[in-house]
Structure 1
Amino acid sequence: MRDLVAMVLAGGRTDALGVLTEKRPQSAIPFGGMFRVIDFVLTNLAESGVEKVGILSQYKPLSLMDHVGIGRPWDYNGRTRELSFLPPYQGSKEIDWYKGTADAVYQNLHFIERHKPKDVLVLSGDHVYRMDYRPLIAMHREKKADLTMVFKPIEVSSPCRFGIGVVGKNGRVLRYFEKPEVPESNLVSLTIYCFRREVLEEQVKENARTGKTFHIYDEIIPQLVQHGKVYGFIFRRGWEYLRPVSAFYDAHMRLLRVRGEKVSMERVRTNLEEEGLAEAPPVYFSSGGVATRSLVAPGSMIFGGVRRSVVFPYVRVEEDTFVAESVVFHRCHIARGARVRRAILDKGCFIGEGAVLDGGDGLIVLGKGVKVMDGAVLKGTMEILPDRVVG
């Protein structure tokens, strides 16, 4: 699909994910036992035949750039396929960088102008879902739309934390509200936009002159709904927002369902050279090791018990240890006799012998490299900053 480019918004830090984004953007957070969040949108683009992709990165991008590289795992290293990182270039301080999503696109209009596509996909790299974008693009072109945006029917609350659209019978977006106090519908915007190129260029240039928030969702979209041709494409499969940290945790628990809506992880591509995934041996279970209703990645060694948890590669769970309802990132070591329940452990954490972590009705979240000493007891909702020693 050479008459289209994609711009992936993957640069922001979100306080809603706390210590998990202390050293990386949300798009680079591990997800699903083997992947990173951005793997899903890149896989979608590759399978949809989108050949030109720009990743708009800003906050602590090293982890993201190391993972994506030149895009080889998604076949973005050929003569006609291209993946580029597009960091901000205005200003010398972080506060001078991208002011918002519209400003991020505006600062990178050179990427669009170089390829001169017919249409531009603008996508969040912070969400987890599997989608073929081709039906969306086909609808957009059939309707001769200025913008076609993707909605999903979801049970919403008041006030609503999502953008909400009201869509007519012909698919035209009649009204759009960003985070309304009282939502008029249950159609949630998924931050998946297909713009006609000329419209996007005109809108971000105007927004650069007159904007206040410099965001697409609360300044450009309402303007286009009122004065342009905006259509809604309805998506009905699994989609995960991942914020706040409780939503990130719940998304992992949904992966363990046998029935019910969840995001498919079939054929998701990732960088297997990173973290030694390509060389990881099969998971090992000792005679006393057991895992039930869990995902356990290669390279892990299970000598104790794991129940209803997601365990990433190279995790070691020792004898007489029990891990339940938890998400354990790469290369964590949970020592003999420890108990871990309702916790998220970032990469390289060590839980000492006989230590107890119990999130109760909340969650315990440990940043990268946290060490919990032997016999320490952590209970209730809490976050521990990376590289701290507790107990």
Structure 2
Amino acid sequence: MRSVLAIILGGGRGTRLFPLTKSRSKPAVPVAGKYRLIDIPISNCINSELHSIYVLTQFLSVSLHRHIANTYKFDMFSKGFVEVLAAQQTNESADWYQGTADAVRQNLSYIEREDPDEVLILSGDQLYRMDFRQLFETHRACKADITLAAIPVPERDTVGFGLLSMDAQSRVTGFVEKPKTPEERAPYYTSAEWIERRGIECRNRHYLANMGIYLFKTPVLYELLTAKPLATDFGKEVFPRNYKTKNICAHLFDGYWEDLGTIRSYHEASLALAGSNPPFDFFAPEGVIYTRMRNLPASRINGASLAQSVVADGCVIGADTRIERSLVGVRSRIGNNCLIRDTVVIGADKFETDAQRAENKKKGRPDLNIGNNSVIAQAILDKDCRIGHGVRLTNESGIQEMDGPGGSFHIRDGIICVPRGGIIPDGTVV
């Protein structure tokens, strides 16, 4: 295989994922009980035999750096690496990254050092499984300057994505970033017949969305990123400016793909993983998703009942507790006689000892994570949260947006979110 360098974009502030991004970057957000979002693109690269990977970071990136350093180590003979490139002031630039294209441009010296034939640019906050070798085949068969991955989506999903049109030879013939009106979307309507001729079921998905996965010939990447006026974003500027003059092609993808950019999309995707037939299966033998080895004990379940739920390693679940359609992360401790429904419990960074729990009692502080006789529904409990005894977090009033006293909890999209380290005292009702 010709040399390909992968660059994973660590994302911006992640304000739509607050409070999960209150103390961490988007790619560091935990997912599926024991993974982090950054594990998805890195694992896709490794499974596609790509072992030269840079991760560009900027905001709240300490936990992301630690996770990557503890997880991805190649042997000394492979020459593979996963390296973090944090935003920094240089002689050429003293600014934060202004967008996706600007982030890559500020790191061109590292690309030049590796001297790849092609550069693969990925997002760090998506859930999908892709063999990038198929993307490379499309790129080379089309003799493309740039190839981007596209997925059919229904009209209701078009507002949040860039849309493109393409001809029979897979060349992109039009590009618009996040259209807001039917008039802007209209030129990008694609017939069911056109989609199905490419071996993909239409299923009322008449628009082709940009997935944020780009493969560039390296000289073309240099040319477009240094052309004046300097572009700051690939979707907003680079592709709309250049699809008529450059051979930009699209590779159609029809697998599961979810952009976990909001609290609702994160919550829904997480609960879907706990179903009997999840759309994204971490149990699949092909395309293994890698993460940090923690050497945790097996979970202990003391007379609880579970339905359509996932329980990670190192958990203790009390007697007479019922867990329904929920995801329980590593080291979670759930008390007796609780009801947990439609909830993501991210877990804890450590186990508490008996002495620490005794100290909690003296201080009037709940233990990690959920006390006895509590009811939690439609919620996300971030890492190391402390939910007391007899707590009800159910949002029965249907509030869509709210911030609790002192930031103890937040409601986003109707979902109750307890931030990392948040404390909910005994008897609290939300």
- Cα deviation code 1:194-241 (max 9, x no counterpart): 0111110111111xx4136x1111111112212110111111111111
Query: Residue deviations 1:335-390, cap 9 Å, x none?
Result: 01111000000001111110100134521011101110000111xxxxxxxxxxxx
What is the CA distance between 1:76 and its match in structure 2? Answer: 7.1
For the 8 Å contact 1:163–1:177, the answer to whether it is kept is yes
Match of 2:224 among 169, 188, 203: 203
- Structure 1 residues 259 and 195 mapped into 2: Cα distance closer, same or farther (>3 Å)? same
1:229 counterpart = 2:247: yes
Determine the structure 1 residue equivalent to 2:291. Answer: 270
Kindly state the Cα deviation for residue 41 of structure 1 after the two structures are TM-superposed. Answer: 0.5
The aligned runs of 1:1-391 (5 Å cut-off) are 1=1, 3-69=3-69, 72=72, 75=74, 78-90=77-89, 96-157=95-156, 160-181=159-180, 182=182, 183=185, 184-185=188-189, 186-206=207-227, 209-211=228-230, 214-259=232-277, 261-262=279-280, 264=282, 266=284, 267-272=288-293, 277-278=294-295, 280-287=296-303, 289-303=304-318, 304-331=321-348, 332-360=368-396, 361=398, 362-378=414-430
Give 5+ residue unaligned stretches, structure 2: 190-206, 349-367, 399-413
Please state how far the C-alpha of 1:306 moved relative to its aligned partner.
Answer: 0.9
Asked if the contact 1:129/1:264 (under 8 Å) is kept, the reply is: no
Q: Is the 8 A contact 1:326 1:340 kept in 2?
A: yes
- State TM-score, norm by structure 1: 0.89
* SS across alignment from 1:299: coil
Residue identity over aligned pairs, in percent, reads 31
The answer to whether the Cα contact below 8 Å between 2:11 and 2:123 also exists between their aligned partners in 1 is no
Relative to 1, partners in 2 of residues 1:82 and 1:91: Cα closer, same or farther, differing over 3 Å?
closer
> Could you say if the C-alpha distance between residues 315 and 246 of structure 1 is closer, same or farther in structure 2, counting changes exceeding 3 Å?
same
Quick one: distance in 2 between partners of 1:8 and 1:260? 26
For residues 77 and 224 of structure 1, what CA distance do their matches in structure 2 show? 41
Q: CA–CA distance in 1 between the matches of 2:210 and 2:76?
A: 32
Structure with larger Rg: 2
Conserved in 2, the CA contact under 8 Å of 1:51 and 1:76? Answer: no
Pick closer, same or farther for the CA change 1:265–1:61 going to 2, 3 Å.
Answer: farther
* Number of equivalences: 367
CA-CA distance at 1:247 after TM superposition: 0.6
Q: Kindly indicate whether the alpha-carbon contact (under 8 Å) linking 2:32 and 2:327 is maintained by their aligned counterparts in 1.
A: yes
Deviation at 1:263, TM superposition (A): 5.1
TM-superposed CA distance for 1:39, in Å, is 0.3
| TM-score in terms of structure 2 length | 0.81
2:199 paired residue number: none
- The alpha carbon displacement at 1:54 in A equals 0.8
Residues 263 and 235 (structure 1), Cα distance of their counterparts in 2 relative to 1, 3 Å cut = farther
Unaligned runs of 5+ in 1: 379-391
CA distance in 2, matches of 1:135, 1:106: 26
**CA 1:285/1:338 → structure 2, altered by over 3 Å: closer, same or farther?**
same
Question: 1:222/1:62 Cα in 2 relative to 1: closer, same or farther (>3 Å)?
Answer: same
Tell me the residue number matched to 1:384.
none
Contact 2:275 2:309 in 1 (8 A): no
Structure 1 position 72, deviation (Å): 2.6
Moved over 6 A (4+): none
**Alpha-carbon distance change, 51 to 2 in structure 1, aligned in 2, over 3 angstroms:** farther
Whether contact under 8 Å (1:351, 1:374) holds in the other structure is yes
Q: Deviations over 1:53-110 (max 9, x none)?
A: 111111011010000017536x476542122211222269x99211111111111111
Do 1:343 and 1:357's aligned partners in 2 also have CA atoms closer than 8 Å?
yes
Aligned alpha-carbon RMSD (Å)? 2.0
CA distance in 1 between partners of 2:77 and 2:67 (Å) = 18
Counterparts of 1:118 and 1:71 in 2: how far apart (Å)? 27
Query: Compared with structure 1, are the counterparts of its residues 260 and 168 closer, same or farther at alpha carbon in structure 2 (3 Å cutoff)?
Result: farther
| One-letter amino acid matched to 1:121 | L
Please give the alpha-carbon distance, in whole angstroms, between the structure 1 residues aligned to 2:281 and 2:261: 16
Q: Secondary structure at the match of 2:238?
A: helix
Distance (whole Å) between structure 1 residues aligned to residue 308 and residue 416 of structure 2: 21
2:302, 2:382 → 1: CA distance? 24
Contact 1:315 1:330 in 2 (8 A): yes
Q: Secondary structure of the residue that 1:153 maps to in structure 2?
A: strand
SS in 2 for 1:226: coil
Cα distance, 1:112–1:70 mapped onto 2, change above 3 Å: farther
* Deviation sequence 1:154-200 (CA, Å, 0-9, x none): 22328611011112222111111100123223111110000111110
Give the direction of change, closer, same or farther, for the CA distance of 1:60–1:260 in structure 2 (3 Å limit): closer
Distance 1:37 1:59 in 2: 15
Distance of 1:170 and 1:2 partners within structure 2: 23
